Structures are given as C-alpha cells and as structure tokens.
Amino acid sequence: MRVLGEGVDVVVVGGGIVGAACAEALTRRGVRVLLAERGPLAGQTTARGDGRLLISDKPPGPGLTLAMASLRRWPLLLAALREELGPARAACEYERKGGLAVAVRAEEAAALRELAAAQRSAGADARELTPDEAIGREPHLTPAVRAAVHYPEDARLQPVLAATALLAAVRARGGEIRTGVHVLSVLTGADGWVVGVQTPDGPLPCGAVVNAGGPRAGTLAEAAGASLPVLPRYGTVLVTAPLPPGTVRHTVHGTVAGGPPVVVGAAPGGQVLISSGRRRAGADEALRADDLRALARCTAALFPVLAGVPVLRAYGGFHPGTPDGLPVIGEDPRHPGLWHAAGHAGAGVALAAATGELLGQLFTGEPPLVDPEPFRVARPGLGLAEEENRCP
C-alpha cells in the first residue's frame, strides 16, 4: 500500500453491496477511502436481487468455502455495525431462517442427497430430512416431495438496507461517498503503479483502486488495460401480496417437472419472493413473460397453496458472472494497485461479508479468513474452464 500526500488511499468503484462491504472493511482498518458510484447508491444489482444468504445451492469447492465463511461473518459484521451506528441505522432485516432444498423426481432426489453428503464432508451443516420431516418443517410443501435437506445456516437480509448500513459506517469513519461519479479509467504513474482514477470532472488521486463495479466490472478492467471476463447475467424476481406468517417458513429451493430452479421464501412483511436462476443476457433486457410463467409454474408445483395468491410485482436485473462461477478478489498482478472484488455470479449479497473482509485482509497483509488462491485474477479457471451457473 502506498499513501499519497494528497487524495485518499483507495478509491472503491461501485456503491453496491460488494463495494460497500469493501469500503467498510478498509475503513475499519484505518484506510482512507473514497467510494465512487456512477448511479444511485445500492441502486443496480443490489436493488434487484432477493437477499438470500445461501450455502444450500453451492457445490463443494472454493465457492462453498467462501459462502460458509460469509454466512458466518454476516451476523458478526451486523452486530459490530449495531454497536457502532445504533440499532436503527444498522437494521437490515437479517433473519437466520434456514434453507430447505427439495427434490420431487427420483433422479433429482438422488443428486440432492449426493450434493448434501459432499457439502457435509466440506464442513457445511446439511441435514437430510425424510419427506415427512420436510413437510413437518414446511407444512404447505407439495406432498410429492421425495428428498429434502435442511440448511440451518441459510439466512436472509434486505440488500439495500445492508448496503446503506455498511455505507453509513464508512461515512461515520470519515470515508467519503460520492454518487454521480463515472470512473472512466485508472491512471498509472511512470512506475506502472496506480496514482488515481479519471472521471469526466477530472482525476481523483489515490494509491489503489478497488473495482467493485458489479456487472460493469469488466468494463472498468478493460479501460484499465487489464481485461476481466465478467459478463452480465439476467435474473428475475416475483413478489406476491403479503401472506399470513408461516405460510413459507424457510428459503426453499427446488426444481419441479424439469423446470428451472426456483427459490421461494418470505420477507418479514409476509410477501413471498420467488427468484429464478441467472441466464446469459444481452446488453438491454426486459422481463420476459415466459420467464415469469416458468417461475410461477415451478412455485405453484412446490407450494400448491400459493396458486391463488396475487403476484404484485416483478423485477429483473443484471448480475455479474465469471467463466468458473467464482468471484475475483485480490490485486491484479498485471496492474499493481488495481484490486478487484467482482464477478459474484448472483451471490454478491451472500458473499459480500467475506469478500470485504478478505479484501481488507489482503490489502493490509493480515492472515486471510479463507484461502485466497481460488479467487485470484491469475487463476487458470478464468476464461478457460467450463462455465457453471449454479447460483440462483
């Protein structure tokens, strides 16, 4: 780390949940941060997800390790924010409600049991349930359920509230947050090190840049001459009218009748959020009626009781994806002083707590909470490995 005479130590580019978590982790370590967001704070991908913190959907590997670390990190981080900001400004509807993965068809049931066994050997709390036990936990679940796994650690929060709470802490520590700032490129000195970022209103001097640009992280990396294969993916969410408490108790995910995977769970107000997997996306996307219908079909099959419930709204949004489905966290060896925290493949909210912490630890040279190797820019999996799309 180099500290300049003027300017800040780090410019974090991106005011979504990942940028906010990085800025929080850095300012907690005494790093002087300026967060630059092109649009409104927490207004893009962060405002278009479902806020699920899940390990249930992660196959064993570095993705699961990071998710487990993040799910354990979130409550600690939120407790610290409550201490620092007071309960009202730190509130973000965090609720450890547990997850339930279910399968209806025989071959999917076998695959689910196999996945749970592998997750258990990787240290995850994944408890197999009989169909009766599953219906005992989730009374409105379809009686056709054949296999179910309970994940007590799965949780939920409201992403915009979480991001604004993290940013409130950044502000409280003297960090600066600027919106409407479009970072065009990264400026380097004669020695090749980062000296600032360029904006339409002139340069912002800094010693390092954290690229937390979400679906646009690839664009900034490209402008800095260090291309990053982060591509936008599209996800869709349906929100129902409020239902009586307990109608849907867990975050339930499953696949029915060969349809797409669907994740169903209730918000504190009783509304049920139904979200899809992410699909490849073009530059301009709109909601597709067929996607909404497919989501509705899967949900009505999983929870027949929901068939009569009105869907009040629907939204879609871009989520960043990488070729190997893992985020990129760490300094770019091609470009000293340029750090990435990007490519979270639709799980940015779940992974933000560990991502910010890992980035902060790597930045200040502390021992990391997880092995950073699988997330580094120079890993073989970026741009080479087969594509995975496992995150809902």
**In the complex, minimum distance from the CB of residue 355 to another protein, in angstroms, rounded to a whole number:** 21
Return the CA Rg of the chain: 21
Cβ proximity to another protein: between 39 and 192 the closer is 39
Burial (0-12, 13-18, 19+ Cβ within 10 Å), 167: buried
Distance of CA 101 to the CA centre of its chain: 19
Cβ proximity to another protein: between 135 and 161 the closer is 161
**In the complex, minimum distance from the CB of residue 128 to another protein, in angstroms, rounded to a whole number:** 29
Binding site for another protein (CB under 8 A): 39-43, 47, 88-89, 158-161, 164-165, 167-168, 171, 177, 179-180, 238, 240-241, 269, 286-290, 292-294, 296-297, 299-300, 306-316
* CB neighbour list of residue 94: distance below 8 Å, 6 or more residues apart: 74, 75, 78, 155, 156, 157, 162
Cβ proximity to another protein: between 49 and 277 the closer is 49
Q: Are strands 251-255 and 262-266 parallel, antiparallel or unpaired?
A: antiparallel
CA 230 to CA 319: how far, in whole Å? Answer: 10
**In the complex, minimum distance from the CB of residue 15 to another protein, in angstroms, rounded to a whole number:** 9
Distance of CA 244 to the CA centre of its chain: 28
The residues pairing with 35 across neighbouring beta strands, listed in sequence order, are 12, 177
**In the complex, minimum distance from the CB of residue 125 to another protein, in angstroms, rounded to a whole number:** 30
**In the complex, minimum distance from the CB of residue 100 to another protein, in angstroms, rounded to a whole number:** 19
Cβ proximity to another protein: between 26 and 262 the closer is 262
CA 372 to CA 359: how far, in whole Å? Answer: 9
**In the complex, minimum distance from the CB of residue 368 to another protein, in angstroms, rounded to a whole number:** 30
**In the complex, minimum distance from the CB of residue 108 to another protein, in angstroms, rounded to a whole number:** 20
DSSP 181: -
**In the complex, minimum distance from the CB of residue 289 to another protein, in angstroms, rounded to a whole number:** 5
Cβ proximity to another protein: between 135 and 300 the closer is 300
Cβ proximity to another protein: between 306 and 377 the closer is 306
CA 20 to CA 353: how far, in whole Å? Answer: 10
Cβ proximity to another protein: between 11 and 163 the closer is 163
Cβ proximity to another protein: between 276 and 322 the closer is 276
Cβ proximity to another protein: between 110 and 312 the closer is 312
Residue of 263, 279, 255, 274 whose CA lies nearest to 112: 255
Residue of 379, 101, 147 whose CA lies nearest to 250: 101
Residue of 7, 28, 31, 6 whose CA lies nearest to 339: 31
Residue 312: Cβ within 10 Å count: 11
24: left (phi over 0), alpha (psi -120 to 50) or beta: alpha
**In the complex, minimum distance from the CB of residue 220 to another protein, in angstroms, rounded to a whole number:** 20
